[in-house]
Structure 1
Amino acid sequence: MEKDKRATGGRTRSPDGRARSPDGRAQDRVNSVDPYGFQRSKHFDYESYEELMSEYLVVLTRRSIKWSKLLKGQSKVQRNVKLKRYVRKGIPNEHRALVWMATSGAQDQLEKNPGHYQALLGAQHDPKLVETICTDLNRTFPDNVQFRKTSNPCLQKALYNVLLAYGHHDPAVGYCQGMNFIAGYLLIVTKDEEKSFWLMDALLGRILPDYYTPSMMGLKTDQEVLGELVKVKLPGVWQTMMDHNVMWTLVVSRWFICLFIDVLPVETVLRIWDCLFYEGSKILFRVALSLIHHNQALIQQARSLPDVCQNFKQITHGPVVEECHTFMQKIFIEPGSLSMATVTKLRATCRSRLVAEES
């Protein structure tokens, strides 16, 4: 994982010259771990990071005050135009779990199914499921101190529980690679197993249908949908892909299957997820289209298939994605109009084509 990309980890410089996290805790400027527990690389640029965060902290503080006034200490939120605008501008860390739970429907499911999570953990477990999950535990965020066996508390046990419960909750999905990173991110944010479980249910069951089924038809479909959107909105890029016979799955599968985890900086990913839980899967297309739109000249310079692949890796790095607040403003402007009706129609077309090809 590229820790140098984690520029917006949530800290800035305090008056004494030390790094300060969003919750106000001063930390040593050479701290090698970001506020989410991820180890920084030895090449991490602290000067650029602190310069960037000195500006972003002003945004974070302003948003935090507005959110506190909006919520007024309540644990419920009403979906409306104002809330949507607030979500797009970013949810402060202290309110993130509450708002994700409320806007995604996860809180409703938790309340309608009291004791369900614990019952799943207490039931007899499928040995094959247990083995598969255990195999991936040590591979989940090896660069995050919270997932190391030596840490206290260690999130590996919580991760195991969430994945095991979900595997029995939705046997059609069970466990697929990629789910461990999503569950891990949810635990980092919520610090709560049951909430992470119900947020997984919201993501995999409703927001991203068929992404993690054995056929991964939903995932394959959405990669093709992105191709169709690029064809209309960025025809030069689409032509480059055709000229070099590059399949979309080759360059964007990680974007979709990991919901930009390990692709973009952690703070940027969390801002994307703020909108994903509220507005649904079309946010993934907005992010993908913005990345491609901003780098279309670079992509079109490619002279071979390896060039295209290398350029797609390159476009997920640099100041554009590190400045998460500016980037999130761009995703609602640069791709132009993109309705859920358009996405639904394209999904039907692409799915039919894929089913025909596989039959």
Structure 2
Amino acid sequence: MTRYDRYSLSTDQQQQKQTLNPPAAAADRKLDTVAVAPGTTMTDEELLLLERANAERDEIFLRYDQGRKCDSIDAWEDPMFEVYTQADRYGFLHPVAPAQSKEAELLQHRIEMERVKKWVKMHKNWDAAATKENLRRRVMKGIPDRMRSAIWRKLLDLDRQIRENGGMYDRMLDCARRHSPDIRQIDFDVNRQFRNHVFYRERYSVKQQSLFRVLAAYSMYNTEVGYCQGMSTVAAVLLMYFDEEDTFWALDVLMTNQRYAMHGLYIVGFPKLMRFLAHHDRILTKCLPKVKKHLDKHEVHSVLYSLKWFFVIFIERIPFSLCLRVWDIYMMYGERVLTAMAYTILKVHKTKLLRMKDMDQVTDFLQTSLHKQFGYDDDYVIKALQSSMDELKKLKLLNLPPPSANELPTMPRGQTVEPSTKARIGHRNEQFSEREIALKETVLYRSESKNEEEEEQYNNGVQGAGDRAATAEDEDDERTEKDYDDITEDTVSQLHTGVSTSSLRTIQSFTTFDTGTSLATSLNSLVIIDSFDDYCDNDRIIEESTRL
């Protein structure tokens, strides 16, 4: 069995393999690479919390090992596939097939097939044929999707990575099973990553299992980062084109190679993200002063709209087909492409942005509308991107300022040290604040009141149930406002403190990020609400807004 076969087994084959070769019991497993800190002492409470953390990690791994045969898949985790009827060429599911004429499809297919022939020829004779200018020209025209895996593999030099690190992935995965403090957050993020894609639609599908294992292994391989939300998005895209182990090494190249250096985006303090934002503002001031002044007037700071541009390379901010074209160029040129693309987006939509009257319009357009409909075809945007890169190069603004010392790994990777007790326990030892307790009680109280009222109406057959329900709800609102008036404003303010990024609010300071263990409270999971009542009406989000 090759290393590729091992990760492509069906669920039944995986379970049969586990039956024949069951994993070692936790007490029998040893890891030579883990160094335990000398003189470590723990209180009884810490021991109990650590035992709970270990049990939870083992349980999560077991569910992913079992895959679709797992008996703990909740209905909300596994929506019915039938709600979607069409999949696009990239595997994303839609209620209605994306509109495209037959003639356009045929033309696109003919062009792509011609390009495939050229790419196949270049790939077979890579060292001689892939000259810098030839490769640059073809990448700008777009890598055919069926060739994307092979060409990305060459651009990232994955074969050398795997050859020089034989067996490392398996060791790190085994280490993660026993020691990773990030398993719970990884599980949360895998469960919500690209659920509208055929690969990730089903809970504990083969690709969900692979994504979980890649992130778990990497959390122990690069302990300076561990795991940060955003990494799951990047890894999920890579898994669309690579197998499991290749994805692990592709992620490592993107994180640690100086051309990309995404390590600095995810470490404590987000130093590279700060550098991206500052450089983006510098470009706007120089090249788009009217747009910059307009955005400043409406308090639309760059952090409000550009986090995903830099953090996950434009995923879910522009159409996926265009995003892949940007990824192609990013694989070749590196970080400079991101600042140029950010500038290009604002440049091509300059007129529309200047007509917008408030913060809501601008942020909704840049965060949501462009993802659904960019307004220009992919070829036009890539030509504009190339023009932007040439323009910024002349102005000496294409490259970012020099990085800080900690933006690249300072420790050898793969030499894992056992996480500290605090890291392994995570936030379990922290108590909820009085405001959080009061807020949770409010949610539960309102939910219980509504349930009791509905049950009473059903049992007694009361006429005018709709009117009474509305009256009871109004009474609940009044009672809530009276009983919790003293915490309302402060609680909402506290919930916004993590990142002040609402479309209705001004950014305060990026230093307010909680950059603690594994950065579990991260960019995509922050809850933004418009009022206290809106929050209380949505019981489900209480789980994500409070401490994990």
| Aligned counterpart for 1:201 among listed residues 241, 246, 252 | 252
Query: Residues of 1 paired with 2:212 and 2:199: CA distance?
Result: 14
- Note the C-alpha offset of 1:127: 4.4
Query: Residues of 2 paired with 1:263 and 1:41: CA distance?
Result: 20
Query: Which letter maps to 1:204?
Result: M
Query: Residues of 2 paired with 1:170 and 1:76: CA distance?
Result: 35
8 Å CA contact retained: 2:175, 2:217: no
**Correspondence for 2:184:** 131
- Note the C-alpha offset of 1:347: 5.7
Query: Which letter maps to 2:215?
Result: L
Q: How does 1:153-232 map to 2 (within 5 A)?
A: 154-190=206-242, 192-206=243-257, 207=260, 208-232=262-286
Query: Residues of 2 paired with 1:175 and 1:250: CA distance?
Result: 23
- Note the C-alpha offset of 1:54: 3.2
**Correspondence for 1:34:** 88
**Is it true that 1:272 corresponds to 2:326 in the alignment?**
yes
8 Å CA contact retained: 2:291, 2:354: yes
Instruction: Say which is worse superposed, 103-112 or 276-285, in terms of deviation.
Output: 103-112
Query: 1:292-324, CA deviations, whole angstroms, 9 ceiling, x for partnerless residues?
Result: 111101111222222322332434443645x32
8 Å CA contact retained: 2:230, 2:312: yes
- Note the C-alpha offset of 1:120: 1.1
**Is it true that 1:90 corresponds to 2:142 in the alignment?**
yes
Query: Structure 1 residues 317, 179: closer, same or farther in 2, change over 3 A?
Result: same
**Correspondence for 1:17:** none
CA RMSD of aligned residues (A): 3.0
Query: Residues of 1 paired with 2:117 and 2:127: CA distance?
Result: 16
**Correspondence for 2:373:** 318
**Is it true that 1:81 corresponds to 2:136 in the alignment?**
no
Quick one: percent identity of the two aligned structures?
A: 24
Query: Structure 1 residues 209, 150: closer, same or farther in 2, change over 3 A?
Result: closer
8 Å CA contact retained: 2:291, 2:350: yes
- Note the C-alpha offset of 1:210: 0.6
Query: Residues of 2 paired with 1:218 and 1:50: CA distance?
Result: 44
**Correspondence for 2:122:** 70
Q: TM-score, normalised by structure 1?
A: 0.80
Query: Structure 1 residues 31, 56: closer, same or farther in 2, change over 3 A?
Result: farther
| Aligned counterpart for 1:342 among listed residues 397, 403, 408 | 397
Query: Residues of 1 paired with 2:103 and 2:255: CA distance?
Result: 37
Query: Residues of 2 paired with 1:147 and 1:211: CA distance?
Result: 25
8 Å CA contact retained: 2:235, 2:247: yes
Query: Residues of 1 paired with 2:199 and 2:323: CA distance?
Result: 18
**Correspondence for 1:147:** 200
Query: Which letter maps to 1:174?
Result: G
- Note the C-alpha offset of 1:276: 0.7
Query: 1:231-265, CA deviations, whole angstroms, 9 ceiling, x for partnerless residues?
Result: 11111111112222221000111222121111222
Q: Which structure has the bigger radius of gyration?
A: 2
Q: Secondary structure at the residue paired with 1:249?
A: helix
Query: 1:162-186, CA deviations, whole angstroms, 9 ceiling, x for partnerless residues?
Result: 1111111111111111111111111
**Correspondence for 2:15:** none
Query: Structure 1 residues 41, 107: closer, same or farther in 2, change over 3 A?
Result: same
**Correspondence for 2:538:** none
Query: Residues of 2 paired with 1:199 and 1:302: CA distance?
Result: 40
Q: Secondary structure at the residue paired with 2:268?
A: coil
Q: Secondary structure at the residue paired with 1:332?
A: helix
- Note the C-alpha offset of 1:33: 1.2
**Is it true that 1:103 corresponds to 2:142 in the alignment?**
no
Q: TM-score, normalised by structure 2?
A: 0.54
- Note the C-alpha offset of 1:338: 2.9
Query: Residues of 2 paired with 1:345 and 1:167: CA distance?
Result: 28
Query: Residues of 1 paired with 2:386 and 2:162: CA distance?
Result: 31
Query: 1:55-76, CA deviations, whole angstroms, 9 ceiling, x for partnerless residues?
Result: 3223212211111121237699
Q: Secondary structure at the residue paired with 1:250?
A: helix
Query: Which letter maps to 1:281?
Result: E
Query: Residues of 1 paired with 2:252 and 2:403: CA distance?
Result: 23
Query: Residues of 2 paired with 1:158 and 1:95: CA distance?
Result: 22
Query: Which letter maps to 1:179?
Result: M
Query: Structure 1 residues 237, 68: closer, same or farther in 2, change over 3 A?
Result: same
Query: Structure 1 residues 57, 334: closer, same or farther in 2, change over 3 A?
Result: farther
8 Å CA contact retained: 2:141, 2:379: yes
Q: Secondary structure at the residue paired with 1:210?
A: helix
8 Å CA contact retained: 1:240, 1:302: no
| Aligned counterpart for 2:107 among listed residues 55, 80, 84 | 55
8 Å CA contact retained: 1:256, 1:284: yes
Query: 1:259-306, CA deviations, whole angstroms, 9 ceiling, x for partnerless residues?
Result: 111122222111111111110011112222221111101111222222
Query: Residues of 2 paired with 1:76 and 1:112: CA distance?
Result: 24
8 Å CA contact retained: 1:299, 1:312: no
Query: Structure 1 residues 179, 49: closer, same or farther in 2, change over 3 A?
Result: farther
Query: Structure 1 residues 73, 50: closer, same or farther in 2, change over 3 A?
Result: farther
Number of matched pairs? 320
Query: Structure 1 residues 74, 246: closer, same or farther in 2, change over 3 A?
Result: closer
- Note the C-alpha offset of 1:357: 9.3
**Correspondence for 2:349:** 295
